[in-house]
Chain A
Amino acid sequence: RKEVEQDPGPFNVPEGATVAFNCTYSNSASQSFFWYRQDCRKEPKLLMSVYSSGNEDGRFTAQLNRASQYISLLIRDSKLSDSATYLCVVNGGGFQKLVFGTGTRLLVSP
């Protein structure tokens, strides 16, 4: 079983739609949680850290459920430029090393 599980997609949505991605992690000792965005053949770029209370950054909202070991990302009013792969990332249980999911691909169409 992978440490971080994500639906690979792709999720095909029209511009303006709301889309949600989910992720589960297996290491209950993980303390830090992130969503990264990766464009084709580029490096991962930090989208947002995910805090226990949940957090919002513009059109993006992240939620964390420690009891269920579940992380979510909600994107509202999707833009064409949101098309990318979204990586769910957790730290490796008290260490700084990051453990990556395989990513969820999002395609936003006109």
Chain B
Amino acid sequence: EAGVTQFPSHSVIEKGQTVTLRCDPISGHDNLYWYRRVMGKEIKFLLHFVKESKQDESGMPNNRFLAERTGGTYSTLKVQPAELEDSGVYFCASSRGPGGAGVYEQYFGPGTRLTVT
């Protein structure tokens, strides 16, 4: 079974430009999550999709960030316009559904390292 994949692995853009990150979840996983780690900080939640619907977007920092999951398969996260503080590693994760004891085990992709200069 293929894991979560993300593209690109690295992106370097200038302040004010637009970047789109892509995540392909594990096949059959309805739940898809975006997280971010900025330098020196812990990994923080951004949002959660169930199929194509946004279940929780409480972690989205501002309206420069737009996430979509058309058709309930892959997801994109667009940052427009990018600011210096958006630099960090963006992780995507997916889960199938509640497993034992109602636990949703999330599996992470390799991340996209975004540098805004």
Contacts and interface: CB of A to CB of B under 8 A. Distances in A.
A97 B110 contact: no
Given A43-B108, A45-B108, A97-B58, A32 B45 contact: no
A51 interface: yes
B102 A44 contact: no
Interface residues of B, number: 29
Interface of A is mostly: loop
Interface of B is mostly: mixed
Nearest to A91: B104
B17 to A, nearest CB: 24
24 contacts: A34-B105, A42-B110, A46-B106, A49-B99, A49-B100, A49-B105, A51-B100, A91-B104, A95-B48, A95-B56, A96-B33, A96-B48, A96-B55, A97-B33, A97-B45, A97-B58, A98-B106, A99-B45, A100-B42, A100-B43, A101-B42, A102-B41, A102-B42, A103-B42
